[in-house]
Amino acid sequence: MLEAEKIKSNWEQYRQAVNDYFPTRKDQLNRMYDDFEDRMVMMPASSIAHFHNAFAGGYVDHVLRVIACTEKLYKSWSEMGADMSGYTIEELRFAAMHHDLGKVGFPGDGNEVYQVETSDWHRKNQNKMYKHNENIPFTMVPDLSIWLLQQYDVKLSWTEYQAIKIHDGMYDDANKPYFVARSAQAKLKTNLPIVLHHGDHMAAQIEFERWRNKDQATPKPSVEKSKITKSNGLKNLAENNPDVEKTLTDIFSAFNQD
């Protein structure tokens, strides 16, 4: 679990990165993030504790780590002699920041993906901290990520599109043709999808190890209140949460102390 101040500072860092990294697209991106702010601040990165960051604020924390990991890997690949041409640092950062955007769900109140798991059995026996919203259409995360960007008129280069689409690597069977090429012509034109996949994998493994080493007791998701809008999505995240009153107060104070 993250402290209120950490959730607040992560979100501020995330929004600042939009303005710093994507100067020609920041207006469209900020409009999207304004619309999803109350949901994204509190989102987990996954639904199961031993996956990664299955706690309030876990999504933003994960994405910031993926950006940092991909930048480190970019530098390492370059130092080892890899051909880093064919894409820019902006494209690397854009793909890293938006690879899991689809986890936010669909626009509109109540269309979030993650809702707090209220079954004690599932929490204790499966480490399932969140459940998926049954009222929204099923979709693969990369597909919804790209669709959301299109909804907000955010332009993507082909390199960014491809990296987001196949960032799960061989974990998704549909990606196999991109990674198991039978000819030189069919091989990836840039290594961005590979660098992103490895960065995402690195971040998720680090987050698992932190859970394993520091949080052996099953963590309970908490949802906190801020000056952002109280939507049904936040109510769904907070439902039957025993720690909700204390953590709501903490976040409220953190976001409004300015």
The structure tokens 């890293």 sit at 96
For residue 227, which amino acid is it?
Answer: K
Closest among 251, 219, 244 to 130, alpha carbons compared: 219
As a whole number of angstroms, the distance between CA 98 and CA 19 comes to 14
Could you read off the pLDDT of 33-42 as tens digits, one per residue? Answer: 999 999 999 9
CA pair distance 100, 14, nearest whole angstrom: 14
Q: Is the pTM of this model over 0.85?
A: no
Domains held by the chain: number:
1
Question: Which H/E stretch holds residue 131?
Answer: strand 130-132
Q: Which residues of the chain have pLDDT under 50?
A: 218-231, 235, 240, 244-245
Q: Between helices 244-256 and 4-21, what is the axis angle to 10°?
A: 50
Model confidence over 195-235: pLDDT tens digits?
Answer: 999 999 999 999 999 989 876 554 444 444 444 444 455 54
List the domain range (segments joined by +) for residue 48: 4-256
- Is the separation of the CB atoms in 154 and 25 below 8 Å? yes
